[in-house]
Structure 1
Amino acid sequence: MAAVMEMDQGPDRNIRLSPAVSAPPDLLGPPALDFLAALHRSFEPARQARLAARRERQKFFDAGNAPDFRPDTAAIREGAWRVAPLPEALRDRRVEITGPVDPKMVINALNSGAKVYMADFEDSTTPTWDNLVTGQQALRRAVAGTLTFDAPNGKHYALKPFAEQAVLMVRPRGWHLDEKHLTVDGEPMSGSLFDAGLFAFHNAHALAAKDRGPYLYLPKLQSMEEAQLWDDALGFIERALGLPVGQIRVTVLIETLPAVFEMDEILHALRGRIAGLNCGRWDYVFSYLKTFRAHRGKALPERGQVTMTQPFLRAYTDLLVQTCHKRGAHAMGGMAAVIPVSGDPVATEAAFEKVRADKLREAKAGCDGTWVAHPALVPVAREVFDEHMPTPNQHHVRREDVEVTRDDLITPSRGTITRAGFENNVEVCVRYLAAWLDGLGCVPIHGLMEDAATAEIARAQLWQWLHHTNPPTADCPSGLCLDDGTPVDECLFEQALIGLPSRLAAQPGLPGAGRVNEAIELLEQLTRAAVLEDFLTLPAYARLE
């Protein structure tokens, strides 16, 4: 990378960049560093307090308890308040595309015809320093209108005129993730504040001048207090940059089980800047598994059977729509993970049909828009929403028919585990981890776009199936069996792993091929651990350069 500067040469020598990395001085010069340091010093104690509260809450769940609606916030749920009016740029969000922040993806997503592009520093980006710096630079040039990309095959990529581009939203990393390459007073900085703060520092005024925010997607929240921490931090950013209060608008992903019981409270904490809630379905399934990690009888069937038509997930969607529309906020549908299959029109059309069915379900439920992971799926999803949502949104669909109880949200779905389903979980974990360790945060595997959220489901299920399942029976001594009667145990796990390296080695061009053995080692550690690791990206991040 040309034009670099060692950060610890700045005016505040307590702000340090890891000796192994460097960054362009126009991105992380002294003013940007001072701004990030001020953010860290103002909010790191509160972040640590919130992470400690998560750990205490998980102990409560591990003791056999379940999440529920909070009695101390009943007045918020029963009140007649509404969130701030939506900005014009966010009134119609019928199709949003998501993906990583490399220059080619940024251009393709902004040009895709979607209403919104969520530039993702979280689940679809491996947080290598180079990825983060390249992503911040790409977004900065995109906001300026100067971003281009020349592919190795000679193809040139350039942005369409601003009026034809998707509205840009940025998803920073979750509160639980550090940025180890930048320390302040000897502490690693929050990945959340690094991503959001640096993006706002360089782009907030330019975006505000275009009536485009800045806009953020906030991930992995578990409580109203975590939402309040974001509101405080974003208010600090606005004051520090001289922006009006509420200039930064946000959408929150409801992708943890505890958060679904605090949706009113999260909207209320962010009521001056929130534009909606999103059904972060894959992380939500993972969070269900993690929340009930110590509960026997909460095992879910193989992930292909855990669809949004399952009662506990349908209840989650319906409650989100009802809650948002009561408060004047968008209720956004979730990600369609299927993608076109290159060179196979039959498989591609089958993928399109799955997307149509999924988006029709969301539109009929009252969602105001939805997510896709591939530009080819934008017109497919848009056609469904254009037909069933002729208005910019569906806030008029109040869903007064919805009555969701605590048990509706926590009763597990029923189904089976096939040998193919078990082995697919193992393969997805290994292939995704290998690619992630090699710097690639989203990977197409068997017609699905796998990212950290979908890989987490596969990893958590493996752990759950081998640790806390059902009581043993005479027919199934392990407590859980495949549909053919085979016990789900260490032997089955070993069998699934043994032939994987040679089978993957036979696939040319496999992402992360050189780190397959390391991925297997990490998966074995995670799966055999006595306690389910909170996030696979935590131990994996320690292995990144």
Structure 2
Amino acid sequence: MPKGVQVHSNVAAKAQAEILTDGALDFLAALHRTFEPTRKALLDARDDAQRRLDAGGVLDFPPETANIRAGAVVALRAACPRARGSSGRDYGPHRPQDVLGLALGETRVPIFQRLTEMAYADSSAPTFANLVNGQVNLRDAIRRQIDFESNGKAYRLSEKPATLIVRPRGWHLDEPRVTVDNTPVSGSLFDFAMYFYHNAHELVKRGSGPYFYLPKMEHYLEARLWNDVFLFSQSYIGMPHNTIRATVLIETLPAAFHMEEILFELRNHSSGLNCGRWDYIFSFIKKRRADRSAVLPDRKDVTMTVGFMDAYVRLLIQTCHKRKVAAMGGMSAQIPIKDDPKANEVAMEKVRADKLREVLAGHDGTWIAHPLIEPIARPIFDAHMLGPNQYHVRRSDVHITPSHLLDTRVPGAVTMAGVRENIETSLAYTAAWIGGNACIPLNYLMEDAATAEITRVQLWQWVKYSARIADTGEPVTAELVDSLIKELAPGVKKLVPGGVGEKELQVAVEYLKGQVRKEWASEFLTSDLMPYLAVADGVPAKFQKSAL
């Protein structure tokens, strides 16, 4: 091991040896020693900002950057290649078939999106085996060395494989399995460093490049940190500056007030912005936790057409097209329903309406939740987006103020069905995540960390403010949640494909019971539950955060 670096894990030695090389760990250590103080300071600044909001402060566009927002309309550098119409759904890359079948084109899906994202954030439970094996699979896919057979089924790379975009974890997450100078490294920097170090030159040689999605930022200074990491990293491996391209997911409420500044900070590495709709709803609730007026109705009622979501979308498109970068749409969570044609048609009609809304609003591409939805999404974009983008749709009609972005008028109600659905989803997802599965189909929807987080914080919010259930008139209380958990928990095992273990389910039960009783809901369930994965991976107790 390089000096000061330790790996605390019982992951198979072969996979570790292939990815956790001395050179890669030296690079990670250099990133950690250079940027960890800034990361910590920015996370402290998040806490300070939340305290100000809790005390009655309001979100606004940053006054110190008014000159950037009012600046001349200058195009940013060229973006990375974009698919016409649809980008791929994000999938964790820890299984070869995820990289092949869902990212690079299965033989049974001859026409598939030509651009996809492999996520280390919301769709891959960060067991160390998942993280390291994912890096192995991505490396092999880039070098066209990943074809294999499983259960009689052949997985082969398509002749024109999709462009890979990798999403590292957010700045808030530590990686306790690797320490530098006795301090856990950033999960963001670990994911980025391993992928970039092993693949950047190879990607460029093959006509592509190191492309990234950057999640969960809350301030333009967090984008500046990423830009500094990019500059440092390109110099470190002898790559020309501005080779990296990054798309930022605008998926937190504070980031909606920093969109133009985020593009400015990443201006030589930017591909555009993406509407991370589910995380955005989660953040809207969480950041306004002290505001009784911000209580939202059932999750199904918080659609893209409600006031604060529509304002966020229109501002994002206007901001991106002002600077001539891509404004990517969000993910429809519906997935095909094989055993019920009528229900399937209803679900697919929701996808059609969502994609039509996006392309008519001016988006330059979108996400989908399942490969079989691609034939629905692509024709809609092909019919209405006649070129490679819609940068000419400037949305000069848009004049978004803070009040638009903070509008809490959402039609709908808190219903018993909504409470029950949130409990089922929260329990099922939490148990699955602890078991290593972070993307699960439930009730014909694809649930990942972002959608599960909505269910958790909604339950907390409804208990906190004693929201009334429309169909019974009773308030949502911790005791009501307890009784429903007792009723619903036994059935959760059958909800998750492949099932969940009794131990994991009990952790999920106790976690949810504790969450609805907290003064403030936890920032992220992934941070709270990471100790369970760390223990299983053999991490010493002194490097584990006790958040439960």
TMscore range, shorter length: over 0.9
Q: 1:206 aligns with which of 183, 202, 206?
A: 202
Alignment correspondent of 2:113: 114
1:418 touches 1:482 (CA, 8 Å); kept in 2? yes
| Shift, 1:508, TM fit | 8.4
CA distance in 1, matches of 2:47, 2:417: 35
Equivalenced residue count is 523
Q: Secondary structure at the match of 1:90?
A: coil
Alignment correspondent of 2:541: none
2:333 touches 2:368 (CA, 8 Å); kept in 1? yes
Alignment correspondent of 1:32: 24
Q: Which amino acid aligns with 2:448?
A: D
CA distance in 2, matches of 1:254, 1:367: 14
1:59 aligns with 2:51: yes
Alignment correspondent of 1:488: 476
1:276 touches 1:330 (CA, 8 Å); kept in 2? yes
Q: 2:426 aligns with which of 426, 429, 452?
A: 429
Q: 1:453 aligns with which of 428, 450, 459?
A: 450
Instruction: Give unmatched runs, 5+ long, in structure 1.
Output: 1-9, 470-477
Alignment correspondent of 1:105: 98
Q: Deviations over 1:1-50 (max 9, x none)?
A: xxxxxxxxx242x1000054454312111111111111111110110011
2:223 touches 2:265 (CA, 8 Å); kept in 1? yes
Alignment correspondent of 1:406: 402
Matches within 5 A, 1:248-259: 248-259=244-255
| Shift, 1:86, TM fit | 1.9
1:96 touches 1:369 (CA, 8 Å); kept in 2? no
1:277 touches 1:324 (CA, 8 Å); kept in 2? yes
CA distance in 2, matches of 1:242, 1:260: 35
Alignment correspondent of 2:300: 304
Q: 1:497 aligns with which of 485, 491, 494?
A: 485
Q: Which amino acid aligns with 2:23?
A: P
Matches within 5 A, 1:168-317: 168-317=164-313
2:61 touches 2:402 (CA, 8 Å); kept in 1? yes
Q: Which amino acid aligns with 1:325?
A: H
1:97 touches 1:378 (CA, 8 Å); kept in 2? no
Q: Which amino acid aligns with 2:439?
A: C
**Bigger shift: 30-39 or 92-101?**
92-101
Q: Deviations over 1:126-152 (max 9, x none)?
A: 00001001111110011001112433x
The alpha-carbon distance between structure 1 residues 536 and 78, as it changes in their structure 2 partners (threshold 3 A), is: same
Identity between Structure 1 and Structure 2 (%): 47
Alignment correspondent of 1:440: 437
Q: Which amino acid aligns with 1:96?
A: G
The alpha-carbon distance between structure 1 residues 82 and 93, as it changes in their structure 2 partners (threshold 3 A), is: farther
| Shift, 1:88, TM fit | 6.2
Q: 2:336 aligns with which of 316, 336, 340?
A: 340
Q: Which amino acid aligns with 2:37?
A: P
Q: Secondary structure at the match of 2:19?
A: coil
Q: Which amino acid aligns with 1:145?
A: R
CA distance in 2, matches of 1:73, 1:346: 52
CA distance in 2, matches of 1:531, 1:315: 27
1:17 aligns with 2:7: yes
Alignment correspondent of 1:138: 137
Q: 2:153 aligns with which of 148, 152, 155?
A: 155
Matches within 5 A, 1:34-49: 34-49=26-41
CA distance in 2, matches of 1:508, 1:227: 36
| Shift, 1:105, TM fit | 1.2
Alignment correspondent of 1:376: 372
2:214 touches 2:248 (CA, 8 Å); kept in 1? yes
CA distance in 2, matches of 1:36, 1:506: 41
The alpha-carbon distance between structure 1 residues 320 and 425, as it changes in their structure 2 partners (threshold 3 A), is: same
Q: Deviations over 1:251-274 (max 9, x none)?
A: 000000000001010000000110
| Shift, 1:343, TM fit | 2.7
| Shift, 1:429, TM fit | 0.2
Alignment correspondent of 1:417: 414
Q: Secondary structure at the match of 1:137?
A: helix
CA distance in 2, matches of 1:479, 1:127: 35
Q: 1:76 aligns with which of 68, 71, 77?
A: 68
| Shift, 1:307, TM fit | 0.3
Q: Secondary structure at the match of 1:290?
A: helix
The normalised TM-score by structure 1 is 0.93
1:127 aligns with 2:126: yes
Alignment correspondent of 1:388: 384
**Bigger shift: 300-309 or 25-34?**
25-34
Q: Secondary structure at the match of 2:529?
A: helix
The normalised TM-score by structure 2 is 0.93
The alpha-carbon distance between structure 1 residues 507 and 382, as it changes in their structure 2 partners (threshold 3 A), is: closer
| Shift, 1:114, TM fit | 0.7
Q: Secondary structure at the match of 2:20?
A: coil
CA distance in 2, matches of 1:480, 1:518: 28
